[in-house]
Amino acid sequence: MTPPPPALAERVTTLELFFDLVFVFTITQLTALLSEDASLAGLLRVLLLLAVIWWMYGGYAWLTNAVAPDRAARRLLLLAGMGGFLVLALSIPRAFGDGGVAFGLAYLVVVGVHVALFSRTYSLGAAQAILRTARFNLISALLVLGAGVLATRSGPAPAVYALWLAAVAVEGVTPFLGGLRGYEIAPAHFVERHGLVVLVALGESVVAIGIGAAGYPVDVTLAALAVLGLLLSAGLWWMYFGGDDARAEHALAAAPAARRPRMAIEAFGYWHLPILLGIIATAAGMETAIAHPYEPLGPAMALALAGGVALFLAGDVLFRRSLEISGSRWRAAAAVLILATIPLGVFAPAVAQLIAVVALLGAGVVAEARAAPAPARPGGG
């Protein structure tokens, strides 16, 4: 008798955690890129790079949700995908120049390994689904490679940006063109997998504290600035992990199986992009604020600091709405108020804006906690 196919994954494996260590390097590279060039062009490059990287990284989360890396062949393929992501991350600083070809080829490897490994699923429906999706992923990868070839010759010319925008657009409409029929979602694994991605990305904001403080003596002032930066990172952590992960898992589990893929692509695909971009921008702004606390940040970095936190909160609000998790008004209000701190960063010392952002984020956390309904007592008493 043929044994039944194994159930979908319920726990994240250590190999997946190992995979995340490569992804966090891409976050580090993107943060450094934004810190070096916080102009509109620099922000656009970071957004385009993050968009295509996140699309395929999310694809690997869907992959391990359906195909457990529990065999040597699968593990080797996943390690090959990690290799592609590592070369891709190394190429980020010059992706719009002479590193464009290396980025594009690495992205092709990432896409190819994804299809090869996903096709090993026991689910015929999922195998057919990935074949529908793969053609669009391949088109996007070829557009990125084409942009890399052109960038090697001409640098970041308008045609290069056009090819990048086309690649992002193809990925963005893939769920509508290729459809999500056939995909299956294991809620516990899926939510945990994406939560860990956000957690390792938040680790970059902690690293930014150390980078900003590098070279300065550890005195009371530096310690206070470091703690202030940690409070900002902790506030972002609280907004995402203060119960929303459990609510998200419950929302996916309660939804009909056929509806889960649509909820998943919206909440964890589209709306996690602003969450991650917000972390990157916040880390870049915080690094500069800690390095030069008594100087104005200037328009670009003041926008990065406040706009990054606001973007994180906006993405989180949309994430909650996609999963029908109520009670987002305090987060939306905090995002608007935090944007109002930008003039502080432009005209006042950077530490003033950092304090204001931390205070407003903390106020939002407290207000939301007070507005939350009290948990029911055991026994209904």
Q: What is the pLDDT along the chain (381 residues), one digit of tens a residue?
A: 333 344 455 678 888 888 888 888 999 999 999 999 988 899 999 999 999 999 999 888 888 887 777 788 888 888 999 999 999 999 999 999 999 999 999 999 999 998 888 776 656 566 677 778 888 999 999 999 999 999 998 888 899 999 999 999 999 998 888 677 777 888 888 899 899 899 989 988 888 888 888 878 888 888 999 999 999 999 999 999 887 778 888 999 998 888 888 999 999 999 999 999 999 999 999 999 998 999 999 999 999 999 999 999 999 999 999 988 877 788 889 999 999 999 999 999 999 999 999 999 999 888 887 776 544 343 443
Q: Kindly list the domain boundaries of the chain, sorted by start residue.
A: 14-177, 187-371
Which has the closest alpha carbon to 187: 362, 366, 378, 7?
7
SS3 state at 56: helix
**Residue 82 contacts residue 18 (beta carbons within 8 Å):** yes
Please identify which residue in the block is written with the tokens 């196919």. Answer: 5
**Residue 310 contacts residue 337 (beta carbons within 8 Å):** no
Question: Computed from CA positions of residues 347, 348, 353, 356, in that sequence, does the dihedral angle turn out positive or negative?
Answer: negative
Distance between CA atoms of 317 and 274, rounded to whole angstroms?
Answer: 11
Task: Check residue 38 and give its pLDDT.
Answer: 87
Which has the closest alpha carbon to 241: 194, 308, 273?
194
Residues 6+ apart with CB under 8 A from 5: 122, 123
Which has the closest alpha carbon to 287: 215, 356, 359?
215
SS3 state at 307: helix
Which has the closest alpha carbon to 309: 357, 365, 356?
357
Residue 251 CB neighbours (<10 A) = 20
**Residue 28 contacts residue 36 (beta carbons within 8 Å):** no
Task: Check residue 9 and give its pLDDT.
Answer: 52
Q: What is the dihedral of CA 245, 334, 226, 244, to 10 degrees?
A: 0
Backbone angles phi, psi at 374, to 5 degrees: -70, 140
Task: Check residue 243 and give its pLDDT.
Answer: 74
What own/partner pairs with CB < 8 Å and gap ≥ 24 does 251-259 have? 251/323, 251/324, 251/325, 252/185, 252/187, 252/190, 252/191, 252/323, 253/187, 253/188, 257/184, 257/185
**Residue 163 contacts residue 150 (beta carbons within 8 Å):** yes
Task: Check residue 342 and give its pLDDT.
Answer: 95
Residues 6+ apart with CB under 8 A from 90: 29, 102
Q: What is the DSSP letter of 40?
A: H
Which has the closest alpha carbon to 335: 272, 275, 273, 290?
275
**Residue 301 contacts residue 223 (beta carbons within 8 Å):** no
Amino acid at 64: T
Backbone angles phi, psi at 348, to 5 degrees: -115, 170
Which tokens belong to 81?
A: 């995908």
Task: Check residue 356 and give its pLDDT.
Answer: 95
Amino acid at 52: V
